[in-house]
């Protein structure tokens, strides 16, 4: 038998040696995940004994984390917009930057749409965008679209978990292929894979070795998905409807040109906390086709 204090110090030392960020916090999160305790309780019960089984399971998780597996895939969870999302290696781990897009969509919905709206989250992955919007706006309904059936399965689980599954339809489609070419959507939201293939080597190992490449890479230039998606959006947006796109560092200008080239009005570019343009907001005004 070991005490909480013993296994905490072993785990944080092991993680520190492997140069994992925030080793002590990571050790506590892994232990807390295994025994269902929060950090305060862990810190105040150092003398308590844990079973050999818990010790064994913790050891295995710590070694996997030390080997580069993201914490979120070990615990199966990531918080996004105040909600806990289940994540597996089939889906991208939701990032805080993507909350900018959700926040903006909510502002626009609340300011402009007194009744119901219909949205499509393209490349839904874990479903974090679609589920957050549906959760915040009870009068909304929409589509979570992904090419990957296993990603859609996770998105659906997250929708069920947060009580919004009856308002989201899960569609396996390559971008908007599965949608009729006529106005049917008020919001198209997308955080596409936008990393250029040649940047693969410079990504942290935990990203490049563990997150789904399909969810990360946007072809040679990183812009491939924008090039395909943007022209598909305008014919499917209702007049006054919006397209919100997350973009990678340095891509806003070129993606903005694609948006304008497709006949949409570029309304805004929103920066993240580091001052990088992260989210483009475009609108189909009533005169555009």
The binding site for ligand GLN (CB under 6 A) comprises 92, 94, 98, 123-126, 128-129, 191-193, 215
**Angle 252-261/224-233 helices, nearest 10 degrees?**
30
For ligand GLN, the closer of residues 98 and 234 by Cβ is 98
Q: Whose CB is nearest to ligand GLN? A: 125
CA pair distance 277, 269, nearest whole angstrom: 6
For ligand GLN, the closer of residues 15 and 189 by Cβ is 189
For ligand GLN, the closer of residues 31 and 124 by Cβ is 124
What would the 3-class secondary structure string for 241-286 be? Answer: EEEEEECCCCCHHHHHHHHHHCCCEEEEEEECCCCCEEEEEEECCC
Tell the smallest beta-carbon distance from residue 175 to ligand GLN (Å): 12
For ligand GLN, the closer of residues 26 and 98 by Cβ is 98
């Amino acid at each position: 038998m070991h005490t909480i204090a013993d296994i905490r110090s072993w785990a944080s030392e092991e993680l520190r040696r492997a140069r994992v960020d925030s080793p002590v916090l990571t050790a506590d999160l892994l232990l807390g995940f295994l025994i269902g305790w929060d950090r305060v309780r862990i810190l105040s019960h150092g003398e308590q004994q844990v079973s050999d089984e818990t010790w064994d399971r913790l050891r295995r998780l710590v070694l996997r984390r030390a080997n580069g597996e993201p914490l979120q895939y070990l615990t199966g969870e990531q918080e996004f917009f105040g909600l806990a999302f289940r994540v597996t290696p089939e889906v991208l781990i939701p990032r805080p930057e993507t909350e900018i897009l959700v926040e903006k969509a909510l502002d626009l919905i609340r300011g402009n749409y007194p009744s119901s709206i219909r949205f499509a989250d393209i490349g839904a992955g874990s479903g974090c965008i679609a589920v957050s919007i549906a959760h915040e706006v009870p009068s909304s309904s929409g589509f979570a679209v992904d090419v990957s059936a296993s990603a859609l399965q996770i998105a659906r689980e997250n929708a069920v978990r947060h009580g919004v599954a009856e308002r989201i339809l899960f569609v396996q489609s390559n971008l908007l292929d599965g949608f009729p070419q006529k106005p049917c959507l008020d919001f198209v939201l997308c955080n596409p894979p936008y990393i250029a293939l040649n940047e693969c080597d410079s990504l942290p190992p935990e990203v490049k070795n563990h997150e789904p490449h399909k969810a990360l890479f946007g072809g040679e230039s990183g812009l491939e998905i924008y090039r395909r998606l943007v022209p598909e959006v305008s014919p499917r947006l209702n007049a006054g409807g919006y397209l919100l796109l997350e973009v990678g560092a340095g891509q806003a200008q070129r993606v903005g040109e694609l948006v304008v080239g497709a006949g949409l009005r570029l309304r805004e570019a929103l920066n993240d906390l580091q001052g990088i343009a992260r989210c483009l907001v475009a609108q189909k005004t009533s005169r555009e086709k």
